[in-house]
Amino acid sequence: MELQERNERLFYKFLIDNVEELLPVVYTPTVGEACQKYGSIFKRPQGLYISSKEKGNILEVLKNWPERTIQAIVVTDGEQISGLGDLGCQGMGIPVGKLSLYTAHGGLCPSVLLKDEFYIGLRQSRANGKCRDAICNDP
């Protein structure tokens, strides 16, 4: 993660070129141990935490994310992390690891997926503006 923080391009190039060796480090089984120790190895926030206290204000919390162009989101409730049980906030290692792999090896943006013959979602543009706000603010 230190390499990713210092030089993101080098991190992903290294991950792509060495996926077989690094997969167990970036994800299973190492991610489980990292999640168990997340509090002691925590350096800076990664991801966005939304607690039950934000009920009714999730859209406002999401607006705090610094990027405006989002291509992928991984969501977890921190429960049953890699068979380790409820790790709460310390489960953030799972979505962080998954997004690293998706970024390095996914190679597809969501708009390309809509054209894939095996895509199982709705074949329509993502909800945005008032439509998305109505969905996010639905009680």
Q: Where are the domains of the chain?
A: 2-56+68-109
The reported pLDDT for the residue numbered 134 is: 64
Is the pLDDT at 136 greater than 70? The verdict is no
Task: Give the residue among 110, 130, 131, 133 at the shortest CA–CA distance from 122.
Answer: 110
Helix (H, G, I), strand (E, B) or coil at 128: coil
The reported pLDDT for the residue numbered 21 is: 92
When the pLDDT of each residue in the chain is averaged and rounded to a whole number, the result is 78
Is the pLDDT at 37 greater than 70? The verdict is yes
The reported pLDDT for the residue numbered 119 is: 66
Q: Please give the Cα distance from 71 to 83 (Å, whole number).
A: 28
Q: What is the pLDDT of residues 74-119, one digit of tens each?
A: 777 777 766 777 888 888 888 888 888 887 777 645 455 566 676 6
Is the pLDDT at 128 greater than 80? The verdict is no
| pTM of the full structure | 0.63
Catalytic residue among 12, 13, 27, 43: 27
Helix (H, G, I), strand (E, B) or coil at 105: helix
Catalytic residue among 98, 102, 115, 119: 98
The reported pLDDT for the residue numbered 113 is: 59
Task: Give the residue among 26, 28, 73 at the shortest CA–CA distance from 47.
Answer: 73
| Cβ atoms 36, 83 nearer than 8 A | no
The sign of the torsion formed by the CA atoms of 134, 110, 68, 10 equals positive
Active-site residue, 98 included: yes
Is the pLDDT at 42 greater than 70? The verdict is yes
Active-site residue, 43 included: no
CATH number of 2-56+68-109: 3.40.50.10380
